[in-house]
């Protein structure tokens, strides 16, 4: 009798334990009873490693020039950048779903712009990029149409062959500038070329028309842009070449900005002139 009672008590304890246990996982059809994780939603992953890294960090780091008036210029007195590239970067960050003021700018030069992207120091590279010979770097754009031109001292209407013409080293301006003069002087940046022009060391400064007009405006009429249009080009955004989802998203954002008038508004506010025909972005 005692044995029967003991067995009954043991069975009751087993039933009680089973009732308090978590239910067994439900098997999926044809499965093994293991838990299946759902794929991440679009809010969790964009398909772009670059965008996902930016959103996880909470800010976007962009490499820009610090001495291109109207395009991208760093102001030491206020510690901030200004210009078309800066406004466009903010617009792109919003398109990525980032909050306002989430972009950090890193000053780069023509020589270092793409290498900082390759090393991962920046997420995107702006600042007068026209070509890339590095297979790991892709270009999206053009986002800004430009023409190579000549900046001279007021009263100068032409540059004679053999007169010294300043170009920024590694900017790509030398090839077209040689059609004007074979006597080229290379400087580290546009500010140095402007100083050489102001002092009379060179007869002209050859570079992108938008930048030259910015320098002319800053000199209060001492300089003039000749309007030679030595070439027709555009500025591009440098990205990791393999990130196709990033390219598609940037093309979408830029296309929307052009279509709804935002691009023209940025141009007008940055350069003080009516926007030209928008570029075809790809």
Residue range 72-97, pLDDT digits in tens: 999 999 999 999 999 999 999 999 99
Q: What is the pLDDT of residue 280?
A: 94
Domain limits for position 238: 49-146+233-271
Band of the pLDDT at 34, cuts 50, 70, 90? very low
Pair 82, 219 in one domain: no
Q: What is the spatial distance between Cα 115 and Cα 108, in angstroms, rounded to a whole number?
A: 10
Residue 238 in domain: yes
For the entire predicted model, the pTM comes to 0.78
Q: Which residue has the tokens 């790509």?
A: 172
> Using the 8-state DSSP alphabet, how is residue 132 labeled?
-
The CATH code of the domain that includes 68 is 3.40.190.10
Give me the residues paired with residue 251 across strands.
none
Band of the pLDDT at 191, cuts 50, 70, 90? very high
Pair 60, 197 in one domain: no
Strand arrangement, sheet containing 80-82 = 67-68, 72-75, 80-82
Residue 16 in domain: no
Pair 57, 99 in one domain: yes
Split into its structural domains, the chain has a count of: 2
Q: Omega into 109 within 30° of 0, i.e. cis? A: no
Pair 127, 179 in one domain: no
Instruction: Decide if pLDDT at 7 tops 90.
Output: no
Q: What is the spatial distance between Cα 233 and Cα 1, in angstroms, rounded to a whole number?
A: 101
């Amino acid at each position: 009798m005692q044995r029967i009672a003991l067995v009954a008590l043991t069975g009751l304890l087993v039933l009680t334990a089973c009732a308090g246990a978590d239910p067994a996982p439900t098997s999926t059809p044809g499965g093994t009873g293991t838990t299946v994780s759902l794929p991440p939603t679009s809010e969790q992953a964009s398909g772009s490693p670059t965008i996902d890294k930016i959103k996880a960090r909470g800010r976007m780091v962009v490499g820009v020039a610090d001495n291109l008036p109207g395009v991208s210029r760093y102001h030491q007195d206020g510690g901030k950048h200004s210009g078309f590239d800066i406004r466009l970067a903010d617009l792109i960050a919003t398109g990525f779903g980032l909050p306002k003021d989430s972009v950090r700018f890193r000053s780069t030069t023509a020589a270092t712009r793409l290498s900082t992207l390759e090393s991962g120091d920046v997420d995107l590279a702006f600042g007068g990029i026209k070509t890339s010979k590095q297979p790991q770097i892709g270009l999206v754009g053009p986002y800004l149409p430009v023409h190579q031109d000549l900046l001279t001292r007021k009263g100068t209407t032409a540059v004679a062959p053999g007169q010294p013409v300043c170009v920024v080293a590694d900017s790509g301006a030398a090839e077209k500038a040689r059609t004007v003069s074979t006597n080229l002087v290379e400087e580290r940046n546009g500010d140095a070329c402007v100083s050489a022009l102001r002092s009379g060391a060179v007869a002209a400064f050859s570079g992108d028309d938008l930048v030259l007009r910015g320098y002319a405006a800053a000199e209060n009429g001492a300089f003039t842009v000749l309007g030679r249009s030595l070439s027709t080009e555009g500025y591009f955004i440098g990205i990791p070449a393999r990130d196709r989802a990033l390219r598609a998203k940037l093309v979408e954002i830029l296309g929307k900005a052009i279509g709804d008038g935002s691009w023209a508004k940025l141009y007008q506010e940055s350069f003080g002139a009516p926007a030209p025909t928008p570029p075809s972005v790809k």
